[in-house]
């Protein structure tokens, strides 16, 4: 059967719960491939929305929390160390170089497994550093690492994410996710001490031509990241000219706060 026919059948029944996880994975692989190959923004968006609809149904199937979805390489899949949280993220690239992000959470509550769809609102937030966000106000990114910390009885999942924002600027984001007593997810909490103030999340911006490293360092017990500087002092504040300057900083969790540690010696600590 040709790809166009397969996609037509999948989209026609997009509100119907798939029969098995294996069939859902096959259908998702077809849709992701079509979205990647498409050069039309409207078509890409239609396919991305159909993917989100199918994933929403699929993640509610029995056994979905432990199903690997290994054949879908263009969707990020990461599980927390306590095995209670699973996060799926992917991006929709537009022809102008910008991106829109899609995401889902699976969370093991005491009673059952809950599924939450994330809606990217990153471009609508006036001050991302100072706001707590619900699932439908998510600061979108590709989540690649989860770090678990606990304070005053609340478990915080610190999330590290990547945002290839546009043709000129990329971003790295560190955010926190926690769940309320009603098992509702909330993103952002003033637990980052950075630039002389407490912030709900940190967004680093730098040139799209370079790479920034930001990872949990188990030996140092820190989130270690490249320190960013402009390539010329004249470009201070113009982040498309920022990049790593071969020094490192970190965040260390102390008394419920991610405290900034400057000039970390990270080269020989891995």
Residue 239 falls within a domain, yes or no? yes
Residue 111: CB atoms within 10 A of its CB come to 7
pLDDT of 1 > 50? The answer is: no
Q: Are 17 and 146 found together in one domain?
A: no
Rounded to whole angstroms, how far apart are CA atoms 137 and 159?
Answer: 16
pLDDT of 7 > 60? The answer is: no
Q: Are 139 and 196 found together in one domain?
A: yes
Confidence at residue 46, expressed as pLDDT on a 0 to 100 scale:
96
Q: Are 126 and 49 found together in one domain?
A: no
Model confidence, pTM: 0.92
**52: phi then psi, degrees, rounded to nearest 5:** -60, -40
Residue 14 falls within a domain, yes or no? yes
Confidence at residue 17, expressed as pLDDT on a 0 to 100 scale:
78
Domain edge (last residue) among 74, 93, 113: 74
Split into its structural domains, the chain has a count of 2
Instruction: Domain of residue 6: give its range.
Output: 1-74
Residue 214 falls within a domain, yes or no? yes
Q: Are 255 and 136 found together in one domain?
A: yes
Domain edge (last residue) among 16, 51, 74: 74
pLDDT of 6 > 90? The answer is: no
- What is the share, in percent, of the chain residues with pLDDT greater than 90? 89
Residue 179 falls within a domain, yes or no? yes
Q: What is the pLDDT of residues 139-194, one digit of tens each?
A: 999 999 999 999 988 999 999 999 999 999 999 999 999 999 999 999 999 999 99
Confidence at residue 3, expressed as pLDDT on a 0 to 100 scale:
41
- What is the share, in percent, of the chain residues with pLDDT greater than 70? 93
Q: What is the pLDDT of residues 46-98, one digit of tens each?
A: 999 999 999 999 999 999 999 999 999 999 999 999 999 999 999 999 999 99
Residue 168 falls within a domain, yes or no? yes
Rounded to whole angstroms, how far apart are CA atoms 174 and 28?
Answer: 29
- Calculate the dihedral angle through the C-alpha atoms of 165, 166, 169, 171, rounding to the nearest 10 degrees: 10
Mean pLDDT value across residues 2-22: 59
Rounded to whole angstroms, how far apart are CA atoms 183 and 166?
Answer: 34
Domain edge (last residue) among 37, 54, 74: 74
**141: phi then psi, degrees, rounded to nearest 5:** -170, 165
């Amino acid at each position: 059967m040709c790809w166009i026919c397969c996609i037509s059948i999948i989209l026609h029944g997009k509100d119907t719960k798939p029969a098995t996880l294996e069939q859902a994975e096959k259908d998702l692989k077809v849709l992701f491939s079509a979205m990647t190959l498409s050069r039309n923004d409207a078509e890409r968006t239609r396919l991305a929305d159909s993917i989100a609809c199918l994933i929403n149904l699929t993640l509610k199937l029995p056994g979905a929390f432990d199903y690997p979805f290994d054949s879908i390489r263009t969707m990020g899949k990461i599980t927390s160390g306590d095995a209670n949280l699973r996060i799926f993220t992917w991006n929709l690239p537009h022809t102008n170089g910008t991106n829109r992000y899609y995401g889902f959470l699976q969370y093991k509550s005491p009673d059952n497994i809950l599924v939450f769809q994330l809606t990217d609102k990153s471009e609508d937030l006036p001050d991302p550093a100072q706001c707590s966000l619900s699932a439908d106000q998510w600061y979108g990114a590709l989540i690649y690492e989860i770090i678990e910390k606990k304070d005053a009885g609340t478990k915080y999942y610190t999330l590290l994410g990547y945002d290839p924002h546009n043709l000129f600027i990329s971003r790295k984001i560190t955010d926190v996710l926690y769940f309320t007593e009603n098992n509702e997810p909330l993103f952002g909490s003033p637990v980052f001490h950075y630039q002389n103030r407490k912030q709900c999340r940190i967004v680093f911006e730098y040139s799209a031509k370079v790479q920034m490293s930001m990872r949990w360092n188990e030996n140092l017990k820190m989130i270690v990241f490249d320190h960013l500087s402009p390539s010329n002092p004249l470009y201070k504040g113009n982040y498309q000219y920022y990049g790593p300057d071969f020094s490192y900083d970190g965040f260390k969790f102390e008394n419920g706060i991610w405290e900034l540690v400057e000039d970390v010696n990270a080269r020989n600590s891995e």
